[in-house]
Amino acid sequence: MKCLIIAAGQGSRLRSIAESKPLVPVLGVPLIERVIGSAANAGADDFYVVVGYEGDRVRSALETISRNLGVSITPVQNDEWRRSNGISVLKAKKFMTEPFLLTMSDHLYDPDIARRLSALELAEGEIVLAVDEDLQNPLVDMEDVTRVQALDGRIEKIGKGIEDYNAFDTGVFYCAPGLFSAIEKSSKDFNDDSLSGGVRVLAGEGRARVMPVGGAFWLDVDEPKSFDQAETILSNAPEIISGLKSRRSGKI
């Protein structure tokens, strides 16, 4: 199974910890290595990582991670990394000709989320987003999280600023290739080239479903507070994102 990971942005909110957000060491292991490990544990074995800011450093790290985890990783260049994240998704269009996992490089998550997603059947052009229905989740950054309004298992609204919502976007998707044309349509018709813009197009067509995570762990590691939370949680319960055993001194 293929997995597409967005890792092109600057990650300015974590600059005090590391120059490159995907390479931020969480208990000594790069953040993106933990993300790849979770997806690999869920069955992904063919990875495509979109790089941009600090691209050479990230590419070099990905070579090491590929050896550590024993998986194939293909870097995909995005020279337009300053634009919205949907552009990063579009850069990988030619590689994704079948259903694929889509994750962010800074979202830690229980592999079972991706495992359950990838077991679902997708209709033509459909996507499924893993959502957290716990609106009191203390790990959620309410100033930055993408909110979702779902009805009968389908997305009605999605965005950071929406006021009516009943779930949070965990950043883990299972997608048919129709996602690409939806982002292109969002860019052309609405001048919105974000991933959420593409999801809104699919939602309007009834092709964007949700899968509640049911309390499974996930965390957007986007600023120093969430970084500290990640290290504390993984120190106390490393099994929460089991991933693959790395060849780096037996660390998980």
Which parts of the chain have pLDDT scores under 50? 243-252
Q: Are strands 127-132 and 100-104 parallel, antiparallel or unpaired?
A: unpaired
Closest CA to 241 of 225, 226, 227, 252: 252
Between CA 168 and CA 216 the distance in angstroms is 13
User: Strands (DSSP E) along the chain, which ranges?
Assistant: 2-7, 25-26, 29-30, 46-51, 72-77, 100-104, 107-109, 127-132, 147-151, 154-159, 167-175, 208-212, 218-220
d(CA 165, CA 201): 18
Confidence (pLDDT) at 16: 66
Cα distance between residue 89 and residue 196, in whole Å: 11
| The pTM of the whole model exceeds 0.75 | yes
Number of H helices and number of E strands within the chain? Answer: 7, 13
Residue 43: phi and psi, rounded to 5, are 120, -5
Which residue(s) pair with 158 in the sheet? 148
Residue 48, token pair as written in the block: 């495509």
Indicate the residue type of 140. V
What DSSP letter does each residue of 156-184 carry, written as one string? EEEESS-SS-SEEEEEEEEE-THHHHHHH
Q: Write down the domain spans for the chain.
A: 2-239
Under DSSP, is residue 201 helix (H, G, I), strand (E, B) or coil?
A: helix
Which stretch of DSSP H or E encloses residue 125?
none
The DSSP H or E segment spanning 225 is: helix 224-236
Q: Are strands 127-132 and 208-212 parallel, antiparallel or unpaired?
A: parallel
Distance (Å, whole) CA 125 – CA 215 = 28
| 208 strand-pairing partners | 127
Q: Which CATH architecture has domain 2-239?
A: Alpha-Beta Complex (3.90)
